[in-house]
Amino acid sequence: MWAIFDTNVIISSMRSTTGASHGILLAIHRSEVTPVVSVPLIDGV
């Protein structure tokens, strides 16, 4: 499964460890999903 996310997900997951955004990043860390990012996302970080 792929997870397409943007900077809002990253910021939200850092602000709260109980929300859905944090769950998405945990799933990526556990290799349950494959993150999909775009060049503009990387350039904006």
Could you tell me the pLDDT band of residue 5, with boundaries at 50, 70 and 90?
confident
CB 6 within 8 A of CB 44: no
**What single-letter DSSP state applies at residue 42?**
H
Instruction: Please tell me the predicted confidence (pLDDT) of residue 45.
Output: 58
Of 26 and 37, more confident = 26
Overall pTM > 0.85 = no
Structure tokens at 21: 């955004």
Alpha-carbon 24 to chain mean position: 6
Reported confidence tier of residue 36, pLDDT bands at 50, 70, 90: confident
